[in-house]
């Protein structure tokens, strides 16, 4: 019989990974900002800007990928795709068929981009 459980640490993990993946790009932004506002537009300034923009694109892609994948806390199986897909305003729920558990992540899909 299918049971429904809530992964209480899913939101915490989501925010922690978001912060950790953003950290390397903050110095690039600060360096580009300081050099640009000082009127220094050499190849280092542009390199920082390009790397920061690439980091932002990667961050958006990685975030979307993480919204559609979930590791079952019981058996560690990687589940790809929430039960109802990603629909705006709907909770993100994954089903592990090994454990027969519906996992509520506590997150709601909010963007269609």
Cα gap 104→72, rounded to integer Å = 11
Q: Judged by CB under 5 A, which stretch of 15-23, 24-32, 56-64, 92-100 contacts Zn ion?
A: 92-100
Q: How far is CA 48 from CA 58, 61, 62, 75, in A?
A: 15, 20, 20, 42
Site string for Zn ion, 18-57 (x = CB under 5 A): ----------------------------------------
State the number of binding residues for Zn ion (CB under 5 A).
7
Cα gap 29→53, rounded to integer Å = 9
Output the residue with the shortest Cβ distance to Zn ion: 72
| Interface pick for Zn ion out of 51, 99, 102, 106 (rule CB under 5 A) | 99
Cα gap 34→40, rounded to integer Å = 9
| Interface pick for Zn ion out of 4, 98, 108, 111 (rule CB under 5 A) | 98
Reading phi first (left if > 0) and then psi (alpha if -120 to 50, else beta), residue 13 is in alpha
| Interface pick for Zn ion out of 32, 48, 49, 72 (rule CB under 5 A) | 72
The contact set with Zn ion (CB under 5 A) reads 72, 74-75, 77, 96, 98-99
């Amino acid at each position: 019989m299918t049971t429904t459980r809530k992964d209480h640490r899913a939101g915490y993990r989501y925010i922690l990974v978001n912060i950790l993946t953003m950290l390397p790009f903050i110095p690039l932004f600060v360096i580009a900002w300081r050099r640009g506002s000082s009127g220094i537009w050499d190849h280092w300034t542009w390199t920082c800007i390009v790397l920061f923009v690439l980091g932002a694109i990667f961050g958006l892609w990685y975030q979307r990928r993480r919204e559609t994948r979930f590791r079952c806390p019981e058996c560690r199986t990687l589940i790809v795709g929430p039960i109802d897909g990603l629909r705006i305003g709907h909770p993100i729920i994954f089903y592990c068929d090994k454990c027969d558990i519906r996992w509520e992540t506590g997150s709601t899909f909010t963007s269609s981009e």
